[in-house]
Structure 1
């Protein structure tokens, strides 16, 4: 298969690109940086250096099997998300042969659309009624993807990502190392829904290869078991030599509010339809490994 990943140098896109290459596929990776382009090429990923909203990758559309949108940072806005999706759709309409199957389009959303709830379990197919403020716009984009008339749309909702440089846990790892303290926005008693970057990458491979089955569906991506936030913070403090001391603080941004949410998610579609099963050691059980790996990136 031939796959284009938009955001191929990010925490999600890079492991996904590596996994697809290992699975035997031809992978093109969009990135804005020449330095990242060298990193991609070293992994046998063909770099395309440009902004994601660009015409520089559109010549690939006629022969592609799938496009994966795995953008992060400033690229995540409702306007940009819609513009990129429709750019792919427009190119597919103009450039692909009339007999070609629908181009698979995998959109990366996130688990926070389920909202903050410490009592009710949710799954892939639970109706979305109260997303956290940071992502109130995402459900509309998810529906636009899975109901698209031109693209074979698929949505994945990763939970809190760990491993390979720490991802969403990078700020608290950095704080423990450089500031000598461990704090987290929120309140005690929270639960963490987590997934290792490698296990998430495996799901992208399975969604890409199984697009005929996965099309029109939304997949929550999470480990089987939830992690205890208090235990995570205490163990991190111990590993960092801070005597197990930690504290919660009041969130100061909508992003920090999202970090403090609890989502009691029990996904099933990835396992039932695609045979996906997370295999990496959990965040807390492997925390000494993951913290050491983060320190090696400094």
Structure 2
């Protein structure tokens, strides 16, 4: 396959691009940075330096691509995501040969659309009725993707990522390294989590099996949700921080969302794509993940 990753140097995009390369596919990676482009090239990813919605820079690929992955990050993902889908759909309709299958378009959402719920078990097919305020716009974009007639739309919802450089957990690891473990929210929560490498495999499987995955929304998360309290206590032990850990009141929507409890039991990616998370849980190998973050920050 020929695959284009939008946001290929990001915490989601890079492992996804690397996974496609390992699977034997031709991979193009969009990045804004010349320095990042060199890093992508070293990973056998063909770099395209431009803004994520600057489709003119990669328009020539549209007729022969098999899949596009939207793994954009940043604060403008709502507007940029809508623009990218619209532009790619128009280009695919105009440029692809009538005998070509619809271009697989994989959109990255997130399990926070399920919202805070400490009582009910939810899954891929549970109706989304109470998303967190931060992600309230995402369900509508998910539906635009899977309902678009010009692409074969697929949605993947990662849960909270761990591994490598830490992603959203990096600020917590930084505070732990400085001596205190603090987390925004209230005790008693449970975290739905997935390792970035396991997540990457979902994208590869979805693209390779797009005929089955098209029009579907997949929650990508480990089988077991982890106790937030147990995770914070383990981080105190691993980091050598002064205990006990502390909860603080959120000061913005992101901090409030980060502590979202979702009792998640996803099944579609396992049933339809044969996906199985293989990495050890966040708590079980927290010493490895914490040290990986330290190494990425030059602290080892």
Fold match (TM-score > 0.5)? yes
* SS of residue paired to 2:63: helix
**Partner residue, 2:21:** 21
Correspondence 1:14-93 to 2 at 5 A = 14-54=14-54, 55-77=56-78, 79-93=79-93
**Partner residue, 1:170:** 170
Q: CA deviation at 1:14?
A: 0.3
Taking the aligned partners of 1:127 and 1:106, their CA distance within structure 2 comes to: 20
1:74-95: CA deviation from partner (whole Å, max 9, x where unpaired)? 2412x22110101111111121
Task: Say if 2:52 and 2:80, in contact at 8 Å, map to a contact too.
Answer: no
Deviating above 3 A after TM superposition, structure 1's stretches of 4 or more consecutive aligned residues are none
Per mean C-alpha deviation after superposition, the further-off stretch among 242-251 and 107-116 is 242-251
User: Which 5+ residue runs of structure 1 have no aligned equivalent?
Assistant: none
Correspondence 1:1-298 to 2 at 5 A = 1-54=1-54, 55-77=56-78, 79-177=79-177, 179-298=178-297
* SS of residue paired to 1:139: helix
Taking the aligned partners of 2:100 and 2:9, their CA distance within structure 1 comes to: 29
Taking the aligned partners of 1:107 and 1:234, their CA distance within structure 2 comes to: 35
Q: CA deviation at 1:257?
A: 0.8
Taking the aligned partners of 1:53 and 1:64, their CA distance within structure 2 comes to: 17
Task: Say if 1:147 and 1:153, in contact at 8 Å, map to a contact too.
Answer: yes
Task: Say if 1:236 and 1:244, in contact at 8 Å, map to a contact too.
Answer: no
Q: CA deviation at 1:246?
A: 0.7
Task: Say if 2:180 and 2:242, in contact at 8 Å, map to a contact too.
Answer: no
Taking the aligned partners of 2:242 and 2:179, their CA distance within structure 1 comes to: 11
Q: Report the TM-score when normalising by structure 1.
A: 0.98
Task: Say if 2:179 and 2:242, in contact at 8 Å, map to a contact too.
Answer: no
Per mean C-alpha deviation after superposition, the further-off stretch among 95-104 and 117-126 is 95-104
Q: CA deviation at 1:57?
A: 1.3
